[in-house]
Structure 1
Amino acid sequence: MVFKHLMDDLDAYLDRDPAASSRMMVAISYPGFHAVVWFRLARWLWSTRLKTLARFVGNIGRFLTGVDIHPGARIGRRLVIDHAIGVVIGETAEIEDDVTLYHNVTLGGIAPAVESESQVDVRRHPTLLEGSIIGSGAQILGPVTIGRNARVGANAVVVKDVQENCTVVGIPAQPVVTSSCTPEQFSAYGTPTGDILDPDAKAMGVMLDEISTLRMRVQELEHEIEERIQLRQAAKRGELESDDPTTSY
């Protein structure tokens, strides 16, 4: 079973990395694949309650690959960690099948040092559902869920759930402005290369529209007030003329 999983992991690199030309190349020269191999060994030890030995094996893998995966994490088949260096995956993280991670990704918790005893055996790390892609430098923090086939853009900071088939970018991460969240083809680094609208630019546009509407309304009110003042002045002049005895016959 473990051998089958490793072969699936090898084939995943061939499917998603155009630089990978053979299983042999991936097996001997891809630190991301090596990190997964060390993790699967450490995970097996963890599941047999040899937790100290599992952590030791995990540390060997981290030293050799630059990838820190807690042996308590749950990782499915065909995981690709491209470029590998700097990836951190916490203890209660869950990763389903066909997920892609790029370098410097963190699947971490929020304030783990605060009341740490109350966080034991409690889900405090992200869950990545099938087919999700996490771009380089992205930080996904807390017990959030990244939906199926979702994309997290490079250097995004995610602290809320992401819907399936959606792309999020920015700090904090916000959905890319498109007509809808629809399935997309594989996007390297989790970031679409087509024309996208900046969420901040859209928000600024909405604000400018509101300002324009308010300006027009203010002008209308000023005009109404001016008309009322003129009517009152005309009414006062009429009263004064009716009270003036010199105007009587």
Structure 2
Amino acid sequence: MKLFDIIKTDLDYKKKIFADDGAPVSTLRLFVIDGTGANILFRLSHACAATKWLKPVALIFQTVNRWFNGCVIGVNASFDQGLVLMHPVGVVINSKVRGGKNIVIESGVVIGDEKGQSPVLGNNLFIGAGAKIIGNVTIGDNVKIGANAVVVKDLPDNCTALGIPAKPREIS
């Protein structure tokens, strides 16, 4: 999939989230909503990092993202289409993180490495404000991680995880 198609898919998914919450937004307004710029800068940095001679440009995009949006996302972090950074301030994502489709990330989220191992995220995730996902963990599909939860163990499909350490509860 081409870079601009991925960005368009990310933006379309963000529009869908707003519409589902009863607050539809225009495409123009979407570009000025918190998080959209961070999303686009991450996608640009990741695309540049894939080309050896554009790696310095990737680092420039990453630095601009940190300065203007208050988030640090490793240029080699990989997310499929439908990534949404709702509020990017305080978001830190390690370069080794791998994520699936339709992942929504709130403010203050840390998805980090421990002893050289980083999380693998499934599809259709919501990661609440202040949540931490650390180390060699796998998060299943259709998972909601509550605000300030600390995930240090694998989470199965179709659950909500709350607490410190986070414990999965089946979605009913």
TM-score (norm 1): 0.63
Q: Which residue of 2 aligns with 1:33?
A: 36
**Structure 1 residue ranges (4+ consecutive) displaced by more than 3 angstroms after TM superposition:** none
The yes-or-no answer on 1:137 pairing with 2:138 is no
Q: Which residue of 2 aligns with 1:114?
A: none
Deviation per CA, 1:62-95: give whole Å up to 9, x if none. Answer: 1111121110100111111112211111010011
* Counterpart among 78, 81, 92 of residue 82 in structure 2: 78
**How far does residue 56 in structure 1 lie from its aligned partner after superposition?**
2.1
Q: What is the CA–CA distance in structure 2 between the aligned matches of 1:161 and 1:36, rounded to whole Å?
A: 26
The yes-or-no answer on 1:69 pairing with 2:73 is yes
* Counterpart among 86, 91, 95 of residue 95 in structure 2: 91
Which structure is higher in helix share?
1
Q: How many residues align?
A: 167
**How far does residue 20 in structure 1 lie from its aligned partner after superposition?**
4.7
Q: Which structure is higher in RCO with an 8 Å CA cutoff and minimum separation 6?
A: 2
Gaps spanning 5+ residues in structure 1: where? 112-118, 185-249
* Counterpart among 46, 49, 54 of residue 46 in structure 1: 49
Contact 1:127 1:144 (8 Å CA) reproduced: yes
Q: Which residue of 2 aligns with 1:10?
A: 11
Larger Rg computed on CA atoms: 1
Contact 2:86 2:107 (8 Å CA) reproduced: yes
Deviation per CA, 1:164-215: give whole Å up to 9, x if none. Answer: 0011100001123xxxx35x6xxxxxxxxxxxxxxxxxxxxxxxxxxxxxxx
3-state SS of the aligned residue for 2:35? helix
The yes-or-no answer on 1:159 pairing with 2:152 is yes
3-state SS of the aligned residue for 1:31? coil
The yes-or-no answer on 1:22 pairing with 2:23 is no
Q: What is the CA–CA distance in structure 2 between the aligned matches of 1:128 and 1:156, rounded to whole Å?
A: 15
Q: Which residue of 1 aligns with 2:60?
A: 56
Change (3 A) 1:62 1:31: farther
Q: What is the CA–CA distance in structure 2 between the aligned matches of 1:74 and 1:20, rounded to whole Å?
A: 28
Paired letter, 2:163: G
Q: Pick which of 144-153 and 15-24 moved more.
A: 15-24
Paired letter, 2:30: V
**How far does residue 52 in structure 1 lie from its aligned partner after superposition?**
3.2
Q: What is the CA–CA distance in structure 2 between the aligned matches of 1:101 and 1:20, rounded to whole Å?
A: 19
